[in-house]
């Protein structure tokens, strides 16, 4: 509704004055609840999970499923457009002239006030900046303007803010949808060519950027796995006192074990590179001392494998869970609750 101001005002008057005297069943879609706040029944429509998206591509490998999800997220219409290998779909759907998903990404931002500032902020977030200070520094936009524009983008469903449990003023900002994340991380960068633009040149540049981009997508999928399969209510990045992300651990979470008890979990994820080894586990164990808990679950997710030494490792305190990319994409049994 808020996309069409005149119609919005008409519906607003109708809801305020006339609807109770009619037998009309009105179904409305709004982004910031300014109209829907008046409705007796409200439903929040969320994106599909990474596992829900699997049903759109029955012949894909787990890596292809990950790529498709990383490019367009959990929106059914976008998933349906990927009818071939995702790497080939990049050329047609994002890089060709008048590519439909590039136009879709741009239209999401073009309607925003201060569009150029929005683009600067989203471009900064694509580099990994997620705090107020980081986004402001990378984008060159003052913190006061950043805060105002980010709030506007959150109200319009472009970004989402996660507030630290112990400090409501300390938050991080991420893309709400992977289609925008992919556009600003890969597509926009691929189109910045030193000479005349061609789809082939942009595609070659995109292929070099996609592996690094998918590394971050794999981490987010693993966090979603923990929420779906392990009952985690939240997953948080580990940060130093300066606010920088700690590289040894990707997430900390509170998970539910097989006995229904809550446990602290430390999580690392790796899509590309060498297999995880015993040294990687030892660094996690060292970091876990900050928990002051002896019952930590160490979870390692890898698409590039685990060394035999790591597979045989036994911990004196806590336990170790190893998961491959294929296991991350295993369907959840219908009656299954939180599990290891």
**pLDDT cut 90: percent of the chain above it:** 51
pLDDT of residue 340: 45
Residue 31 clears pLDDT 70, i.e. is over it: no
Only one residue has tokens 């789809």, namely 199
Between residues 258 and 280, which one has the greater pLDDT?
280
CA–CA distance, 326 with 340 (Å, rounded to integer): 16
3-class DSSP state of 77: helix
Name the strand (E) or helix (H) holding 71: helix 62-72
What mean pLDDT is predicted for residues 135-159?
92
Contact 152/179 with Cβ under 8 angstroms? no
CA–CA distance, 307 with 19 (Å, rounded to integer): 65
Contact 256/203 with Cβ under 8 angstroms? no
Rounded mean pLDDT of the chain?
Answer: 85
Could you tell me the pTM of the whole model?
A: 0.84
8-state DSSP, 45:
P
Cα angle 205-79-159, degrees, rounded to a multiple of 5: 75
What mean pLDDT is predicted for residues 152-171?
78
The token pair at 74 is 């959990």
Only one residue has tokens 């759907």, namely 93
Residue 121 clears pLDDT 80, i.e. is over it: yes
CA–CA distance, 340 with 337 (Å, rounded to integer): 10
Name the strand (E) or helix (H) holding 169: strand 167-175
């Amino acid at each position: 509704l808020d996309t069409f101001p005149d119609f919005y005002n008409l519906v607003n008057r109708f809801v305020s004055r006339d609807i109770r005297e009619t037998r009309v069943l009105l179904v409305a879609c709004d982004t910031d609840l300014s109209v829907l706040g008046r409705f007796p029944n409200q439903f929040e429509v969320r994106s599909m999970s990474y596992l829900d998206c699997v049903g759109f591509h029955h012949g894909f490998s787990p890596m292809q499923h990950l790529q498709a999800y990383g490019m367009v997220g959990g929106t059914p219409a976008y998933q349906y457009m990927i009818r071939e290998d995702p790497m080939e779909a990049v050329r047609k759907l994002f890089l060709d002239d008048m590519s439909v998903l590039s136009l879709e990404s741009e239209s999401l931002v073009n309607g925003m006030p201060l569009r150029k500032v929005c683009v600067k902020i989203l471009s900064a977030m694509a580099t990994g900046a997620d705090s107020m200070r980081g986004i402001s520094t990378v984008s060159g936009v003052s913190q006061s303007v950043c805060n105002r524009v980010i709030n506007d983008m959150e109200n319009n469903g472009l970004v989402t803010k996660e507030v630290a449990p112990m400090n409501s003023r300390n938050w991080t900002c991420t893309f709400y949808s992977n289609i925008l994340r992919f556009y600003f991380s890969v597509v926009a960068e691929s189109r910045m060519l030193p000479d005349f633009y061609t789809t082939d040149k942009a595609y070659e540049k995109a292929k070099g950027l996609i592996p690094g981009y998918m590394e971050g997508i794999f981490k987010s999928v693993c966090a979603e796995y923990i929420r779906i399969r392990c009952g985690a209510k939240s997953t948080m990045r580990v940060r130093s006192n300066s606010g920088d992300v700690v590289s040894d651990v990707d997430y900390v979470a509170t998970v539910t074990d097989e006995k229904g008890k809550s446990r602290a979990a430390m999580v690392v994820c790796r899509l590309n590179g060498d297999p995880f080894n015993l040294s990687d586990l030892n660094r996690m164990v060292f970091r876990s001392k900050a928990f002051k808990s002896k019952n930590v679950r160490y979870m390692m997710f890898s698409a590039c494998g685990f060394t035999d030494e790591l597979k045989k490792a036994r911990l004196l305190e806590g336990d170790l869970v190893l998961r491959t990319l294929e296991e991350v994409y295993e369907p959840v049994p219908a009656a299954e609750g939180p599990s290891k």
